[in-house]
């Protein structure tokens, strides 16, 4: 089977299902149109796509934080383990087991590392807080070393780790990561990839939004590419890798310039036509 165009794979055991989701901001901007996505139990699903494709909007819709950005779900539904969550408020969604690490880290800069983690743990059942904290400090020993330091004084990489650690303190079933590698040095990007794999090995499903396709597709078992609010491609990462064209376009790293990005977008359109011939 080739990489399918705009289709969803159906799994009997999905932790999260997004069906035909349409989202707008204000009156005019349709940020997502008929987007469907499944996260199989225990999977890492990569969501790729350029700036403005709708990646953050998708995560906000899942975590219920869309309203904080004046966004509205116009159509579609989102279910967590078969139960609808698209009408719930963000706090209830966190308690149901879904937590988002927003774009740009957003740690509480004036608070200490320990207090940031404590704040993340407030959503967890009291008896789950100590094990969650142990897991986080195990994953990120640097946070134990810096526990008394103000979060705003940490390096970018450390802030990203704190941001992920704070989210894990709520003991989630599903972790939503919005471009965790953004602005980090290559060594740290690799480290973030390893950490995502480790978190997943411990039993947490992950939706990994990335512009760094190389890292994301190394860690993920499934991937979807968003283009201007629609799913342009979806499949397993093996299917992505089996397609030479897709491998070159989406596994090959970043466009060096806007001109190159345009050239690559043209090539992507051509390859999609080829792919739809295969699958159609
Ligand atoms: N708060 C907002 N108000 C109005 N438009 C927004 C808002 N956030 C995002 N958008 C628009 O929605 C589209 C998708 O944005 P976004 O989800 O942030 O994309 P991505 O994360 O893939 O870069 C873009 O056209 C963007 O300009
Ligand atoms: Mg974004």
- The pLDDT tens digits for 225-242 are 999 999 999 999 988 777
Task: Give the closest residue to 229 by CA, choosing from 27, 34, 70.
Answer: 34
C-alpha 102 to ligand 2 mean position (Å): 9
Q: Which H or E element spans position 139?
A: helix 126-139
Bridge partners of 24, per DSSP, are 30, 72
pLDDT level of residue 4 (50, 70, 90 thresholds): very low
Higher pLDDT, 158 or 263: 158
- Kindly report the average pLDDT of the chain as a whole number: 87
Percent of the chain with pLDDT over 70: 82
On whether the CB atoms of residues 18 and 38 are closer than 8 A, the answer is yes
pLDDT at 105: 84
Task: Give the closest residue to 232 by CA, choosing from 244, 215, 249.
Answer: 249
Range with lowest mean pLDDT among 16-25, 57-66, 196-205, 251-260: 251-260
pLDDT level of residue 261 (50, 70, 90 thresholds): low
Higher pLDDT, 1 or 271: 271
Residue 263 has pLDDT above 60, yes or no: no
Residue 1 has pLDDT above 50, yes or no: no
Q: Which of 21, 27, 29 to mutate to test the pocket of ligand 1 (most atoms within 8 A of CB)?
A: 29
**Ligand 1 atom with minimal separation from the 229 CA:** 14
Residue 3 has pLDDT above 80, yes or no: no
**How far, rounded to the nearest angstrom, does the alpha carbon of residue 245 sit from its chain's CA centroid?**
24
Tens of pLDDT, residue by residue over 129-182, are 999 999 999 999 999 999 999 999 999 999 999 999 999 999 999 999 999 999
**Ligand 1 atom with minimal separation from the 29 CA:** 5
Task: Give the closest residue to 42 by CA, choosing from 217, 197, 240, 171.
Answer: 197
pLDDT at 2: 42
Residue 87 has pLDDT above 70, yes or no: yes
Report, in angstroms and rounded to the nearest whole number, the Rg of the chain calculated over CA atoms.
18
Q: Is 69 in the pocket of ligand 1 (CB under 6 A)?
A: yes
pLDDT at 29: 79
Range with lowest mean pLDDT among 18-27, 224-233, 242-251, 261-270: 261-270
pLDDT at 271: 52
Q: Is 171 exposed, middle or buried (0-12, 13-18, 19+ CB in 10 A)?
A: buried
**Ligand 1 atom with minimal separation from the 57 CA:** 17
Q: Is 108 in the pocket of ligand 1 (CB under 6 A)?
A: no
Residue 274 has pLDDT above 70, yes or no: no
- In this structure, which residue's CA is closest to atom 6 in ligand 1? 25
C-alpha 53 to ligand 2 mean position (Å): 8
pLDDT level of residue 5 (50, 70, 90 thresholds): very low
């Amino acid at each position: 089977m080739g990489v399918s165009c705009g289709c969803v794979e159906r799994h009997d055991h999905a932790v999260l299902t997004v069906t035909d989701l349409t989202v707008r901001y204000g009156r005019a901007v349709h940020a997502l149109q008929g987007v469907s996505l499944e996260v199989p139990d225990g999977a890492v699903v990569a969501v790729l796509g350029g700036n403005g494709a709708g990646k953050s909007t998708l995560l906000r819709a899942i975590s219920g934080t869309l309203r904080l950005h004046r966004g509205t779900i116009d159509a579609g539904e989102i279910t967590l383990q078969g139960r609808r969550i698209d009408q719930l408020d963000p706090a209830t969604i966190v308690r149901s087991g879904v937590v988002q690490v927003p774009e740009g880290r957003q740690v509480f800069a004036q608070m200490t590392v320990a207090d940031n983690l404590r704040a993340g743990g407030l959503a967890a059942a009291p008896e789950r807080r100590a094990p969650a904290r142990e897991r986080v400090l195990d994953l990120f020993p640097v946070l134990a070393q810096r526990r008394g330091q103000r979060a705003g004084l940490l390096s970018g990489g450390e802030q990203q780790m704190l941001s992920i650690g704070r989210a894990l303190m709520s003991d989630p079933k599903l972790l939503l990561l919005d471009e965790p590698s953004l602005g980090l040095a290559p060594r740290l990007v690799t480290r973030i990839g390893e950490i995502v794999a480790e978190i997943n090995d411990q039993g947490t499903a992950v939706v990994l939004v990335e512009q760094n396709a190389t890292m994301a597709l190394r860690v993920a078992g499934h991937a979807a590419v968003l283009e201007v609010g629609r799913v342009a491609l979806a499949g397993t990462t093996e299917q992505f890798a089996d397609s030479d064209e897709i491998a070159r376009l989406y596994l090959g790293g970043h466009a060096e310039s806007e001109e190159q990005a345009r050239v690559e977008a043209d090539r992507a359109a051509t390859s999609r036509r080829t792919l739809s011939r295969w699958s159609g």
